[in-house]
Chain A
Amino acid sequence: MNSRLTEAGLFLDRVTIALDGREIVTLTRRVAPGAVLTVMGPSGAGKSTLLAYVGGFLDPAFTASGRAYVDDVEITALKPEARHMGILFQDPLLFPHMSVGGNLMFALPQEVRGRRARRERMCRALEGVGLAGLEERDPATLSGGQKARVALARVLASAPRALLLDEPFSKLDAALRAQMRELVFAKARESGLPVLLVTHDVADAQAAGGDIVEIGG
């Protein structure tokens, strides 16, 4: 137990999730900052349920026990918005009623004060994913690859403590997929974020390079 206290990253301590009394996930794992833990399994095995648990929006139909920590702080009982778990889904899910810049500004933490400072941060975040100058655009006018990059920039802009990736590359075509993988993992390493990746694509797991856990099946 004590060793945990001195180490940063994401720690899942005897996490068990059950539906109607049937256990679907049981897991104890540590993910160091910048490292990736890949959870693999067939559809319906409960991969996304695990992400929902860590993110704090588990459907009340499930029961869960165990604890989750980020950087020594227990998050198990926190509201989702207090956990600061950045999420990427397989769809970019850019808010359609905001501009590209609006999406990023919405994500920036409140602590970044002042219009100018926030705009600057937003522009830098766009630059960081190679999309400088697109801040006024309507998300609907972007290409698939651009949308994925904006989604990444948005989650990073929110200064998360960890990244939860729910098959984030599965809807991209092959060329884009490789590019995005590289970008996402590079950014995670750069920011020192522990990453929990859920996928059924072995190539994702290989690219991530971290531990692999198989569940279900």
Chain B
Amino acid sequence: MLTRLGPVLAIGLLTAPVAFGLAGTILPAFGFLPALGGTGFSLAPLMALAGEPAIVYSALMSLVTGLVTTLVSLGVVMLFTAAWSGTRAFARVQHLISPLLSVPHAAAAFALAFLIAPSGLLARMISPELTGWHRPPDLLVVHDPMGLAMMAGLVVKEIPFLLLVTLAALPQVHPARTRALIAAMGYGRIGGFVFGLWPQIYPQIRLPVFAVIAFATSVVDVAAILGPTTPPPLAVRLVGWMNDPDLSMRFLASAGALLQLAVTAAAIGIWIVLEKLTARLRERCACAGLRLRGDAPVRWTAFGLMLLSALTIFAGLATLALWSFAGLWQFPDALPASFELRNWARVLPHLLDPLLTTLIVGLVSTAVATAIAILCLAREDEMGRPPGRGALRLIYLPLIVPQVAFLFGLQLLFILIGSVATMTALILAHLVFVLPYAYLCLKDPWRAFDRRYDQLAAGLGKAAWRRFLLIRLPMMTRPVLTVAAIGFSVSIGLYLPTLLIGAGRLTTVTTEAVALASGGNRRVIGIYAFLQMMLPAIGFAVATLVPALIFRRHRDMQV
């Protein structure tokens, strides 16, 4: 049976690259890499790592970034959901935030940088009238040593992600009924939610939260665009060592990747301790019967923060678009002196190759991932049960192991078998990240399908494959296309996998944009970031419009 292949392919595609990649990273970290003359084991790479200036500072910064980012974004999401879920304002903000999920991290980071830099749009809007600034103030706002800009950039991107996973978990705990019940006991909105609903929701979103910690502790693109530079966070330094002309630096890079693994593990460990502490605190408050009714300031703060994070990205993206058409635009002018198409005309010819690669890799990896996810779910239908918790953890593996920690080894593997920078290798690398999202996003709508349709069709004498092709798939058109759009946006946003496996020869819109970031040419960055944002948006538009068009005469197939 074809469906039997589903789980095998999924598990193989997710675990094999991670396992081989980790091996390819860990062995060189202990001096073993025969191709470079490392035939024995030694602690020399780790010693060299310890001798790197300020390595502890870099590692700590990564650790703190991961924890603070997760804490702030989860806090905002929790408070906002607590205070506003079920209201019309909540629905509005949810609609505002959802599209932000598809904005690649790099584009969001650029958006923030263009907004808050001393010469950014915010300063231009209020200068010189309010500030008296005729030239940008000498303030270290972006690339600040504390990493605040970097954390802000991560927070505005993780909020939409965590909000959407929370929303997916919400219906299973019957929020309306439970809220009414708790309110009847006299609890405030936020307190009631935190005591009564959050403990049921949190276990369901715990793995995504871990994924956020892992991502934020090891992020490269956002850190390069917004993060400190003297010294940069750990992952950025690793990639630097990786690209050093002195190949023996690979040993150091591998040792660093091992440290990265430890940093991420430590962050998750600290988080688990925090979970325990806050759970105990919550229980104590709940047992004390604290009603927490005067929560209006917190409610409005949560609302304000949520709105701020969304508007920041939108305003930043608008600034990016503005820059892409800007002629000379001097400080403190709020608008460019002229608008021109020259920037686009200049960049477009160079865009074709990366754009083509982006589309091919995105579409193929998404198609394969969606197909495998469907096979897995169809297999579950046959088996009559969802996979155990263990299998689910495996699906999260590529999202929780820091990318740098296994991509180094994976790149080495591809180099050794001579297939680095081939389309196949790149698609495979993207698949590792697209597949988890495809599976996780498809499973709920897939399982929500009313199985009686299938039984009915069987009663009408239709074989399994016809039922699948003529009933199940058409009825699942909308969720399948939505999942494909999500997968496509994940693929477009992938920076490090593309950089390392594409090895500079296969570039996508995202790697080009980050490469150009160092050049600081705002017009060109604007164009690339604008595209980065548009491609996923087009994907979602297709996912919405195509079913609407196909099923325009079938009312129950509309939204």
Contact = CB atoms under 8 A, between A and B. Distances in A.
Interface of A: 52, 55-57, 59-61, 79-87, 89, 91, 93, 95-99, 106-107, 109, 138-141, 154-155, 158, 160, 164
Contact of A141 (B474, B475, B555): B555
Interface stretch (B10-18, B116-124, B457-465): B457-465
B245 interface: no
Contacts of A86: 459-460
Contacts of B556: 96, 138-140
Given A60-B384, A61-B385, A97-B474, 6 more contacts: A55-B458, A83-B459, A97-B557, A138-B553, A154-B460, A158-B460
B468 to A, nearest CB: 12
B254 to A, nearest CB: 47
Nearest to B455: A57
30 contacts: A55-B458, A57-B451, A57-B455, A57-B458, A60-B384, A61-B384, A80-B455, A83-B458, A86-B459, A86-B460, A87-B452, A87-B455, A91-B450, A93-B450, A93-B452, A93-B453, A95-B453, A95-B475, A96-B551, A96-B556, A97-B477, A97-B551, A97-B557, A98-B554, A99-B554, A106-B460, A109-B461, A138-B553, A138-B554, A158-B460
A155 B365 CA distance: 41
Interface of B: 383-385, 450-464, 467, 470-471, 474-475, 477, 551, 553-557
Contacts of A106: 457, 460, 462, 470
A102 to B, nearest CB: 10
Contact of B456 (A87, A109, A140): A87
A160 B461 CA distance: 8
A16 to B, nearest CB: 20
Closest 6 CB pairs of A and B: A140-B555, A96-B556, A80-B458, A60-B384, A158-B460, A87-B459
Contacts of B554: 96-99, 138-140
A187 to B, nearest CB: 16
Contacts of B461: 81-82, 84, 109, 158
Contacts of B458: 55-57, 79-81, 83
A95 B459 contact: no
Nearest to B553: A138
A96 B384 CA distance: 25
Contact of B452 (A91, A138, A155): A91
A155 B460 CA distance: 7
B264 to A, nearest CB: 39
A55 B471 contact: no
Nearest to A139: B556
A164 B553 CA distance: 31
Nearest to B382: A60
B459 A164 contact: yes
Nearest to B463: A81
A154 B461 CA distance: 12
Nearest to B453: A93
Contacts of B450: 91, 93
Nearest to A164: B459
Nearest to A86: B459
A155 B459 contact: yes
A86 B555 CA distance: 26
B384 A59 contact: yes
A50 B15 CA distance: 42
Contacts of B383: 60
Contacts of A155: 456, 459-460
Contacts of A91: 450, 452
A156 B477 CA distance: 28
A185 B451 CA distance: 26
B459 A85 contact: yes
A5 to B, nearest CB: 25
B20 to A, nearest CB: 35
B551 A55 contact: no
A79 B462 CA distance: 10
A60 B458 CA distance: 17
A141 B470 CA distance: 22
